[in-house]
Amino acid sequence: MTSADAVLAVQDVAVSYGDFPALSSTSFVVQPGELIAVVGPNGAGKSTLFQALAGFIDHKGDVIVHGEHCHHLERQAIAYIPQQSDVDLRFPITVAEVVMAGRRRFHTGRFRPLVADHARVNECLSLVDLNDMNDRSLSTLSGGQVQRVLLARALAQEADILMLDEALSGVDARHTEDLISLFATLCAQGTSILVSTHDLHLVRTHFNRCLALNGRLIGDGAPADELTGTQLERLFSRTTSPEPS
């Protein structure tokens, strides 16, 4: 496949918080159906990269979706699933309402869910193993369940690209296997998935490609090549810092 077939082309994306360059110029291409791990130490810019691509924070560079330059307000094809700890659970909202928010992009004007939207919400909840949880308040769920609700919302949004921040942290072995198998199903249907994780064993065993990040893109390739001794030393070295963007 060529970059013309890419679902996502990231070109020279860079992010600064004030004077602090959190992410130097970063470029890569994602093909339909790819499952990609994003690895790097804490503070490497993984969340920053995802939030920039989702259009939540300002950035330099271009984000091209299906060959079209995409303004940050038009990134409905990209869904960002934040870390469990970043979700404000005080907001009184039910599981079904959260997932239904993903259907908004299919309606113009005032959002009145149709029967088909309710059916899709149920289907997405079932895909993440949360059947019959529709009326539960988000605040009563465990961290892992909240993350699966947010994944269900992304599925309801029918996004082409899912970006999951630390989705596999604090998740028990059974749900890790379930998530990995759900990723495989979604990728087989053409969805592209990026997952940031610290679990290098999981990356080596379940991913074909990883992006190694530490303030800038240090490696992009097969885990067997990118997660070797010298590459790992570079990746986790404190001296590898972002360059001014």
Q: Which residues bind ligand ADP (CB under 6 A)?
A: 17, 20, 22, 40, 42-48
Closer to ligand ADP at the Cβ: 192 or 197?
Answer: 197
Closer to ligand ADP at the Cβ: 56 or 106?
Answer: 56
Q: How far is the CB of 44 from ligand ADP (least distance, A)?
A: 4
Closer to ligand ADP at the Cβ: 223 or 242?
Answer: 242
DSSP result, the chain: --GGG-SEEEEEEEEEETTEEEEEEEEEEE-TT-EEEEE--TTSSHHHHHHHHTTSS--EEEEEETTEE--GGG-TTEEEE--GGG--TTS--BHHHHHHGGGGGG--SS----HHHHHHHHHHHHHTT-TT-TTSBGGGS-HHHHHHHHHHHHHHTT-SEEEEESTTTT--HHHHHHHHHHHHHHHHTT-EEEEE-S-HHHHHHH-SEEEEESSSEEEEE-HHHHTSHHHHHHHH-TT--PPP-
Closer to ligand ADP at the Cβ: 19 or 135?
Answer: 19
Q: How far is the CB of 91 from ligand ADP (least distance, A)?
A: 20
Q: How far is the CB of 184 from ligand ADP (least distance, A)?
A: 25
Q: How far is the CB of 13 from ligand ADP (least distance, A)?
A: 13
Closer to ligand ADP at the Cβ: 54 or 95?
Answer: 54
Closer to ligand ADP at the Cβ: 32 or 143?
Answer: 143
Distance, in Å, from the CA atom of 152 to the CA atom of 171, rounded to the nearest integer, reads 16
Q: How far is the CB of 136 from ligand ADP (least distance, A)?
A: 29
Q: How far is the CB of 85 from ligand ADP (least distance, A)?
A: 11
Dihedral sign of CA atoms 89, 93, 98, 101 in order: negative
**Cα atoms in the Cβ-side hemisphere of radius 13 Å centred on 84:** 17
